[in-house]
Structure 1
Amino acid sequence: MTVKEYLGQAYRIDQRINSKLEQVGSLRALAAKATSTISNTPPSGSRNVHSMEGIIVKIIDLENEINADIDTLVDLKREIMGVIKVIDNPEYQTLLELRYLCFYSWEKVAVEMDYDLRYMHKLHRKALELCTAFIPAGK
């Protein structure tokens, strides 16, 4: 795994969490869709409760997955922060934090740091070179 791939893992996990949150929202909307018919005859009592039960189970399962992913993301961000802190250059640290922990676009990083975009890429290459030695074994 390259340094960029290692540092980029947090972004991918964050994307998966957001995707699952959207799925939960969709399932909640589906569960909330309840139609009622106004009529003089009493309901037959044969509503499909199993369908609602299945949706609720799926929501709970997804929420459990989201919680596990959040735990993984927090641990990974802590690990990445450890790698970034070892670098003895505050400029590189800021760049890496904005890019890989705050998930800023390159344009936003350049604006935040008040640098030209090309210069940002040059700094990034140098910062990645320094990170190589500090990536945990097996990563």
Structure 2
Amino acid sequence: MTAKEYLEQVRHKQAEIGNLKRDKEAVKDMLYSLGGGGEGERVQSSRNNDKFGTLFSRIDEMERKIDDKIIDLMQFRMKVSEQINALDNVSYITILNCRYIHFQSWEKIARSAFDEERNVRSVQKLNGLALQEFEKKYAVMLAELTLEAI
């Protein structure tokens, strides 16, 4: 696994949580659509009331899964942040934190992350050097993660 792939896991975990939240909202919408008719609407007497229990159960299960994923994200994000902060070069620490922990665009990093404004290309080049340094420092861990993925 490369340093970039490892660091991008923070964004992937966060995106997964967002997707799960949207899925949960879709199930809630289904529940509300089954639940109620307005005035003047007839309700069929042979309605399956277990649908509500099933949907409530599914929503509860999804909420627990989301909570677990949030805890996992927080722990992983803290670990990655500590690893980044253990690098020796302050510029590398700054750029990796801005990009992979706070998900800032190259433009925003170039404008605000350093004492003087930089161009996007120089920030991207610095990011490449920072990734190489991260990869060098954590080579054993990244190799082990690669083997686990196989």
Shorter-chain TM-score tier: 0.7 to 0.9
1:105 and 2:100 equivalent? no
| Partner in structure 2 of residue 20 of structure 1 | 20
| Partner in structure 1 of residue 5 of structure 2 | 5
Task: Find the partner of 1:124 among 122, 127, 136.
Answer: 127
Q: Verify the 8 A CA contact 1:86 1:134 in the aligned structure 2.
A: no
Deviation at 1:64, TM superposition (A): 1.4
Alignment length (residue pairs): 137
| Partner in structure 2 of residue 80 of structure 1 | 80
What does 1:52-91 correspond to in 2, within 5 Å? 52-91=52-91
Deviation at 1:105, TM superposition (A): 2.3
Deviation at 1:37, TM superposition (A): 5.1
Q: Which runs of 5+ in 2 are unaligned?
A: 146-150
What percent of counterpart residues are identical? Answer: 26
TM-score, normalised relative to structure 1:
0.86
Q: Post-superposition, which runs of at least 4 consecutive aligned residues in structure 1 deviate over 3 A?
A: 43-47
My pick for the range that moved more, 92-101 or 127-136, is 127-136
Q: Distance in 1 between matches of 2:122 and 2:44?
A: 71
Q: Which digits, 9 at most, give the CA deviation of each residue in 1:18-46, with x for residues without a partner?
A: 0000111111122122224527x9x6754
Q: Which runs of 5+ in 1 are unaligned?
A: none
Deviation at 1:81, TM superposition (A): 0.9
Matched AA of 2:37: T
> Cα RMSD over matched residues?
2.0
Q: Distance in 1 between matches of 2:133 and 2:80?
A: 13
Q: Verify the 8 A CA contact 1:83 1:134 in the aligned structure 2.
A: no
Deviation at 1:126, TM superposition (A): 1.1
1:51 and 2:51 equivalent? yes
Q: Distance in 1 between matches of 2:61 and 2:76?
A: 23
Q: Distance in 1 between matches of 2:10 and 2:83?
A: 13
Q: Distance in 1 between matches of 2:55 and 2:107?
A: 41
